[in-house]
Amino acid sequence: MQSKRARLDRFISEQLGVNRRDVRALLAQKRVLVDGHPATGINQVIDDFSHVVFDERILREKKPVYVMMNKPLGVVSATKDEQHKTVVDLLARPDKEQLHIVGRLDFNSTGLLLLTNDGQWSRQLSAPENKVAKVYRVTLEKPVTEDYIKAFYEGIYFPFEGITTRPAKLRTISDYVAEVSLIEGRYHQIKRMFGRFNNEVLTLHRISIGNLSLDPLLSPGKSRELTEREFDHIGITSE
């Protein structure tokens, strides 16, 4: 989802129904405030979350929203679905139709899911070059061996796409349980990586994204907004 960025003069012209040439005079008279400060120029760029006021009349006021959910089993990671209940259906928020999903989970996968109305933030979290790790707890049909660790780190070749996965970290918890850390999210990636060893994934549960862990007090299907500290420390570190 793209953030709606626009030149200030175009936005003011559309909102007030005035000629764009007349906007310059309004700015010179300091009648337009952007985020609490007099507008700097007609070519100033505003976005979805810019607070724009003209003569004490609010023209744009939208706050970014960041929601953590504990996705339950059997719910679709989508905003709408004709056959199944979606994660958006589980939200008890008046603004839920404005939110989109950051990194989907499969129908039979559970755990940490993020929703937001901030397109730039979601793109930063999802971009592999930003190296935001997603960690999953996986239960398997067969025991995990040391061979898995080396193969996951070197990357698994997916012939259908003709690509090799980026290095992934695998840590064994017990014979049948492992934790996998990825910085990308290809279609059914973890299931397909274990599929190389003919080992079926029985359960898949996401426990963290970057430095953000799933709140252990959040029961399946429940959600809450991120705290300011959680937002600040999630770990988007673009190079």
* Residue 106 known to be catalytic: yes
Catalytic residue, from 22, 106, 118, 175: name it: 106
- Report the chain's terminal Cα–Cα distance, integer Å: 22
Looking only at the bridges linking them, the beta strands covering 37-38 and 32-34 are: antiparallel
8 Å CB contact between 29 and 43: no
One-letter identity of residue 233: H
The set of residues, in sequence order, having a beta carbon less than 8 Å from that of 69 and lying 6+ positions away, is 87, 90, 91, 112, 113, 114, 115, 218, 221, 222, 223
Q: Which residues are catalytic?
A: 106
